[in-house]
Structure formats: C-alpha cells, structure tokens
Chain A
Amino acid sequence: MTATDLGLPSIGGLDGVPTTEDKQTAKDFTSDQEVRWCPGCGDYAVLAAVRQFLPTLGIKRENTVFVSGIGCSSRFPYYLNTYGMHSIHGRAPTIATGLATSRPDLSVWVVTGDGDALSIGGNHLIHALRRNVNLKILLFNNRIYGLTKGQYSPTSEVGKVTKSTPMGSLDHPFNPISLALGAEATFVGRALDSDRKSLTSVLGAAAAHRGSALVEIFQDCPIFNDGSFDVLRKGENENRLIPVTHGEPIRFGAEGEDGLGSHAVVQKGFGLEVVEAASVDPSQIVVHDGGDHELAFALSRLSDQDLTHTVTGIFRQVERTTYDDAARAQVQQAKDAANGEADLQKLLDGRDTWTIVA
C-alpha cells in the first residue's frame, strides 16, 4: 500500500534533491578508478546496473552520496563519480544518518555486505531502519566473508565449511528480510545481481521511497562461495524464484495456460504455501500487498534459507514519517518560535546576572 492509496500527503525520496535537465549517462557516473574486484564477482553486475540506473533519477550528480563500510562491496563508492565515503566496518548507516539528517538536498546511499551490515554493524542497521532515515541501503549478500579471505558470515548456512570452521559452522543464519521487517523497515526489497531488470526496478522504487529502504542483493563470490545462487539462475529455477508485485496475484514458474506462472502462493493457516496454480481456485491465490506486514514477513520465510522458495521484488513499502524530516521540522519549529535569529547574548546571560563595576 502506498501513501497515495491511503490518501496521505506523499513526499518522494528524492524531493528536495536538486534536479538537472542535462542528459546524464553511465559514463558520467563512472570515476577514474580502476575497478579491483575479482573476475566473475557479482559486484560488477551491480555496479553496472547502478551506473546505468543513477542517470535515470534526473538528480544532480553532485547531490548524490554513496557511503560504505568495509568489505569487498564497500569499495563501491570509489567507482562512482559522485561524492563518496569508504568508512569503517559496520558504521556506514551511522555516517549516512548524520549526513541525511543534516542535508535534505542529498540522495544518500549505503553500500554494505552481509558481514558489514549484519555482523559488526547489526545494531546500526536495525536502528537506521526503525528510525526511517531517508537513505537507501544496498545489502550485498554473498553469504561469505570475501575480503578477509573466506570465513563464514551471519548469512552462511549452518555447517558451512570455511577456513575458520573446518568442521562446519555452528550458528544459525539471519534472514535479512525478516530482520529488516522486524526492525520496522518501511521499505524492504530483494533482487538477484544478474537480473538487471528487476534489480533496477527495485532500486528505482527504493530511490523514490521517502525513508530507509533496504534492498538485499544476492550476489556471488566466485572465489570463496562460488555458485551459491546458481540454483536461482538456471535449470530448475522456475519454481524457486518468486517475483512479487504489489496488487498482483503471486504466480510464478513456467507460464501456464492463462499466461501466468504455473505455481502460486496461497494461505495456509497463519502462513503461506506454494502450490500448483491449477490445483486451487484463483480466488485463493494471495494478491501481494506491500502494506501488509504479516504477508511480507510470511513471504520472507516461505522456505528455509536453502533457496527452495526465494521471493524477489518489494516485500514491504509503507509510508511513515522519516526521522530526518521530523528532526529538521523540530529545528524549524524552534527557529520559528524564536522569530528567526535566536539571541545568543540572551542565552549566555541566563536568568540571573549581576554586574561588578570598576
């Protein structure tokens, strides 16, 4: 459900950011730095998509800022000819929060990974989401630590054999979408690195969203976790990948006789299940609703994190006052109450002064 559906005054994610009439291209957004990811890294696909996508926003390049933490994906800002900061491990959301709160004229993006966002920076991620600061978080999830050379991450499957877990990892992984929803995120989406079209579509919706947007991007690490998402890319992927669109029945898989997918999502108890579309009455098929928190949560947990059922698209999109808008409004309110210029001398003098004469 969007604000328009609810009849609320709508303010877009890019409102207040200066626009340009100049034609911009991917090349304009490409910096002079040589890209240094491993050959075959999924980050290349995302970078190419973002370089293509940014010019379509029509905002001034100098008003675009990418902030990252530490990890392979966090090198991202260096490769974009925007303003950028490559900060420290896990802390990018904090820096972006200060920047977005003090500068409403900027489009602020955070680039982070599964280790950066969900392990060392987990606290900042959930608080940025609940505050609903107007920033867009791209969470590159390759389910492994790449930059430190191949330890398991908080999204690795249990039993993962890595350098630090030769007998298999022991801890249960986070479900990033469930986590974001639990943290009261107002926008939660997911895309596959190689699916340029749907990735761009989710990014566009995130940019237009006023508030914190979390976009999980499944992305391969060819060196330490090669082929981890292959089951979603080829062969039997039809019944695994479930793209959802607000207002449309959830159908997926090979095209059926009615031109929609062979499979569908229906309700089962308080949860959801996947069935063959032909086996149920069409009225039973769940129509996706981005304003339905329970539905979004159920979709995020349609299967274990073994990629049996993997929903992509926008799980949730709702409108809620952003922290930064509200913080600026309080400052403005106080300024208005003081009729513009607050009196510093009056503040320093306080209530009780006494004077000593020479």
Chain B
Amino acid sequence: MTTSDTPVETRDSQVVQRDRVVIRFAGDSGDGMQLTGDRFTSETANFGNDLSTLPNFPAEIRAPSGTLPGVSSFQLHFANYDILTPGDRPDVLVAMNPAALKANIADLPQGGVLIVNTDEFTKRNLTKVGYEANPLEDDSLEDRYAVHGVAMATLTRGALEETGLSKKDAERSKNMFALGLLSWMYHRPSESTERFLREKFAKRPDLAEANILAFRAGHAYGETTEAFAVTYEVAPAKLAPGTYRQITGNTALSYGLVAAGRTTGLPVFLGSYPITPASDILHELSKHKAFGVTTFQAEDEISGVGAALGAAFGGALGVTTTSGPGVALKAETVGLGVALELPLLVIDVQRGGPSTGLPTKTEQADLLQAMFGRNGEAPLPIIAPCTPGDCFAAAVEAAAIAVKYRTPVMVLSDGALANGSEPWKVPDADSLQPVDPGFATEPNAPDGSGEFWPYLRDQDTLARPWAIPGTAGLEHRIGGLEKADGRGSISYDPDNHDRMVRLRQAKIDGIEVPDLVVDDPHGDADMLVIGWGSTYGPINAAARRVRTLGHHVATVQIRNLNPMPANLGEVLGSYSTVLCPEMNLGQLAMLLRAKHLVDVKSYTKVAGLPFGAEELQDVFLDYLTGTHPHATHAATNGAQA
C-alpha cells in the first residue's frame, strides 16, 4: 500500500479501448454514493465523453444502516459517441456492503466486473440482508463475474493513519478510495476531484486532505496491485462543436428560470414549498438573488403558488416549483391564474404516485393532472423537456408563452431528468430571444370612454392586457368570478360565460408551437414510436438498436403537450403502427386516441425507473415482426431484407 506521495513504478497494465461503459456505485445511504457518482461524472464530463446518469436513492435520509431499503446507487453511462440513456445494466458494479451487493447483483450481466468492499462482509451484515453464507467465500460469484474483493475501509484507514483522524472518521473516506480506484481503471482526470474536495471542505482542511489521501490511495491501489490486470479507455465523444458542461435537469431548469428573468426583463419571484424531487430548484434559485430573483419558502404548496400569482399581478415573473402532490394542492390557485389570465410558471417535477407514492423515483403520471386537474374548463399550455439539459430551454420557452399569452404554463419534468445529468451545450446568453412583457399603459376602451377594459383581447393572440398596480388610470379589479368579455366586470350572463369559456380555450389552442420533426433515417418506416418527457432517451436508444438490426422505425417527441403541434394529426396518420411508451398507464396514448381517432398502441411501465433501451428494443421488435399480441401489422421494411 503506497500513497501517491511516494513515486511508484507503474506496472504495465493492459489498456483496452471501449466505446461505452456503464458503472454503478452502490452502497449504504450513508456511504456517500451519490457524491462518488457525481464526482466520477464530473471527471468524465471533463474528459469529454458523452454521458448520462441515473441516481437512485431511498426517500429515507438514513434508512437503517446495512439494510436493503437503505441502499443508494448511482449509475453512469459514458461513451465515445452521443448516448441517450444511463444504460440498462452495469458493466461494473461497485458494492460497498452486502446489502448493495444483494440489491444490485441481479442487474450485473455475466462476465461483468464486480468490485466489493470486503470489510463490510461481516456475519452480522450478511445476516441482516439474509445471506446465510458469505457469497465472497463460495464460488457463486466467481463463476459468473470478474470479482475484485478490496478491503476498502482497512486500506483507507491505513492511508489516513498519519492524519490523526479517528478510525470512524477515516473510514468515512472509503467512498473516495473507491472513486480513486475507478478513476484509475478508466483513466479519468483527477484534478477536478481534488479541487472539488478542497472547496467542499474549505472550512475543514483536515477532512479535505483526508479525502484526497483516500482518493489517491484508491488510485495507487489500482496502479500497484496485481489484482487489476486491465484498464479501460473510452475516448472523448464527437459531439457537435461548442462549449459543454455537465448539468442536471434541476440545475438546468433553475438556470432557465434565471435566464427567463433576463429575456423578459422581469424580476423572478419563486414561491415554493420543499418537496422531493423539486426542492433543488428552490435551493439553486435562492443562490441567484444577484439576478433579481426572489425566493419565498412558503408555509405550504398553496401559499407558494398564491404568492407567485400575487407577484405576477404586480408585474413579476411568478414561478412555483413542486411535484405531483403539490400540483394537486395548487390546482385551485392555478385555476384562478387561468381565470385572471396572468403569466405564471408551474414546474412539476413528477415522481411516483398516487399520494406520497415514491418520492425519490421517477414517473410521468401527472400528464392528465396537468391537462385537466382543475375545476371547470381551465386549459393551460404544457411543455415537457426531454433531457436534463433541455430543462433549460423548456423553462425559457414556458416563460415566453406565459408572458406573451398571459397564462399559467405547466412544465412537466420528472425525477429522472431532475437528478440525471448529461453534457450540455452551453447556450450563448446574448442569443436568447427577448420577450416584451408589453405592460398596458393607456386606457383602451373601444367606446372612447377613457376607461380601462382588462379583458379586451389582442386580436392575434387573444391575450388580455397586463396592467400592473401603480399605473395611473388603469385601476381595475379582477377575480375568480366570471367576467364580462372585454369590460371585465362580473357577469353571470349565460351567453357571456359560454363565450368566455371558448375564448380562454381558443387562446390556448392558438399558441404557436413548433411542428413535430420525425426522426426516420430511412424515410420509409411503417411504425412510429411517439414519446414525451424523459422517455426520449430510451425510445431513441432502442430505435437505434433496432435500426442496427436492419429494421426501419420512426420516432417523434412531443415536447409541447398543450397545445400539441399542428402537424401531429398528419404525422400520426402517416404510419400504420403508432406506439407510445410511457411511465404511466397510457395517458398520452389516451389523449392521442381521443383527439385524433388513431389506434395508438400503448406500452407502459410504472416501476419508478426509466425504461431500459433493451426493454424497448424488444417491444419494438415484437411490433416490427408482428409477434406482439397487439400488433396489427407485421410490416417491417428492413428486417427480412
């Protein structure tokens, strides 16, 4: 055991080139697996690979230590080409304890690399998760996997002996040991991790040094022991030219909101109540007050959206961030926003439901809630970003629509996007399209009375004027009661109500959204796979796979879910089979069937995890080859060719 302070003679290890690798770090909730994964991701981003990540952790902050429910994992897929998913199954599994091994081993394919922290494989820990014998001591693992037992805690403790840290504190750095070892195995640059640790522990330089020592020890362990004969290189990916950084969906969404304040010229006001997995947006925005962002942590979900709507009445860009349960609570206020016709952004980072459901897992079962989850006819625009980086553009676009059309807009992110990360081509801040809020400044009554009519609509957009308090001569009262078309005073007139309901709907229906762009490289596919939100990655990864097998398949992503793109009907009508995979029980499929009378096939899974590319590949193939029980066509262009 040598630390890297001492020069060592590097063994000649075999270097193998790989196109792509999937690594999963798994351990106890308290083992720091998310941090470990995050750092490996950062190193990988710095190296220039394309990447996609899947953090997976329990809702409990510290579930009982060493138990199956307490297992936390972080999966990272990186490659020398552009990839779309965090990977179905790991090539390398790092298991920090018996629980992590037991919970994850089934996902490791035969021949996969298994790195185990042997120190935790005590009788007590094994019993805790139901192992009668130590699986490291029989051949059950050796027969199937390339197993590397490493006494990580012991080695870390040894490396930190001279720091004077207690045994317990020293062992806490074992995750950095694991990171160092994996960084060596995959030739990751380590400067950024060391810099990160120094910054993170700026107030505790002793801990910073301890973690760096452990990291270097892991690196040196790989370099000097005979155990690891092979290291791997994954060359940088050839992405489109530009400047890139690594970003998670929640960070991208937060930046999008900051940027929206810039594009609209409005102060951003966030009213929010903490809820998983949306809280990180509140955390992130609270750091950016220098951009004129105000963050208000409200007493509840309703207050969060109420304050945002109040700020919008005053001329701010009102935003509220939440997850499904919060959307339910905010519904009445969002409906008020629809009636008031004020700009408002409602960000729903979807999680498993119903009720509290699976707080830390992903799902996309709030689509119908977003569409219809308010009393009365209360339509609003909905945008669903499809990758972590796309959350930025979705927020900017949502703000532009909200301001232009004076309407609440819902953004549907989800847990996989929120916590997942990818390389993001950083936009040029100066090139973001400005949006003129166009506040009303003059009386507008068409009868020349000099009055202000708050519901006199713009003929093109059907948007009403936004007159903010402080504007002399435009004093007016608005509310949730039905208003007279134009004049805006309370009206119970039957014809007026019918007209106002239709006007509000027509305004939303008339919002300009870009046409769908179908991805059909062969140009003659008979089957279209349609997706929304985070299923973009697995759908398109699966499509690539079946195309490689010689099949022709088209894919399309609906980013604007309300109103839907104008060419949607035409696109749907152009394929004999339309398949819609969703992480719900077929909500988009239901909408497409209802609106377009197309026999959309639904493939659904609601497991709290994203689809795997292989899983969807099999589903696509079943349809393409006509073996799926619901397949109406055996049409395949390329399979038999």
Contacts and interface: CB of A to CB of B under 8 A. Distances in A.
Interface in B286-335: 288-294, 296, 298-300, 302-316, 318, 332-333
B310 A99 contact: yes
Interface of A: 18, 31, 33, 60-65, 67, 70, 77-78, 80-88, 91, 93-103, 105-106, 123-124, 127, 327-328, 330-331, 333-335, 337-338, 342, 344-345, 347-350, 352-358
Given A82-B475, A94-B298, A331-B292, A348 B303 contact: no
Q: Categorize the interface residue count of chain B.
A: 35 or more
Interface stretch (B60-68, B164-172, B220-228, B233-241): B233-241
A82 B340 CA distance: 17
B42 interface: yes
Contacts of B192: 352
A95 B427 contact: no
A347 B307 contact: no
A2 to B, nearest CB: 28
B465 interface: no
B471 A62 contact: yes
B481 interface: yes
A65 B293 CA distance: 23
A135 to B, nearest CB: 10
8 contacts: A33-B490, A63-B470, A85-B310, A93-B306, A97-B303, A353-B244, A356-B48, A356-B240
Contact of A94 (B310, B312, B428, B429): B310
B426 A348 contact: yes
A331 B293 contact: yes
Contact of A85 (B243, B313, B318, B428): B313
A334 B477 contact: no
B310 A356 contact: no
B265 interface: no
B304 to A, nearest CB: 8
B480 interface: yes
Given A91-B333, A103-B469, A355-B243, A78 B477 contact: yes
Nearest to A66: B477
Contacts of A88: 332-333, 336, 480
B200 interface: no
B299 A342 contact: no
B258 A344 contact: yes
Given A335-B290, A349-B243, A98 B314 contact: yes
Contacts of A334: 288-290
Contact of A352 (B46, B240, B271, B315): B46
Contact of B310 (A98, A345, A349): A98
A124 B291 contact: no
B469 A106 contact: yes
Interface string B23-65: 0000000000000000000100110100000000000000000
Q: Which 9 A-B pairs have the closest CB atoms?
A: A94-B306, A86-B479, A98-B310, A98-B307, A95-B310, A334-B289, A338-B290, A342-B290, A84-B477
Interface in B238-288: 238-247, 255, 258-259, 262, 267, 269, 271, 288
Instruction: Name the residue in A70, A101, A335 with the highest tally of chain B Cβ atoms < 10 Å from its Cβ.
Output: A101
B182 interface: no
Given A95-B306, A331-B294, A87 B479 contact: yes
A97 B45 contact: no
A83 B475 contact: yes
A123 B298 CA distance: 11
A354 to B, nearest CB: 5
B478 interface: yes
A348 B252 CA distance: 9
B472 A356 contact: no
A94 to B, nearest CB: 3
A347 B255 contact: yes
Contact of B294 (A82, A96, A102): A102
Contacts of A349: 243, 245, 426
Contact of B477 (A62, A86, A95, A350): A86
Nearest to B317: A102
A247 to B, nearest CB: 35
Contact of A356 (B238, B247, B303, B314): B238
Contacts of A103: 314-315, 469-470
Given A101-B307, A345-B428, 15 more contacts: A62-B473, A64-B469, A83-B477, A94-B307, A97-B306, A98-B308, A98-B309, A103-B469, A123-B300, A123-B303, A335-B290, A347-B291, A349-B245, A352-B45, A357-B241
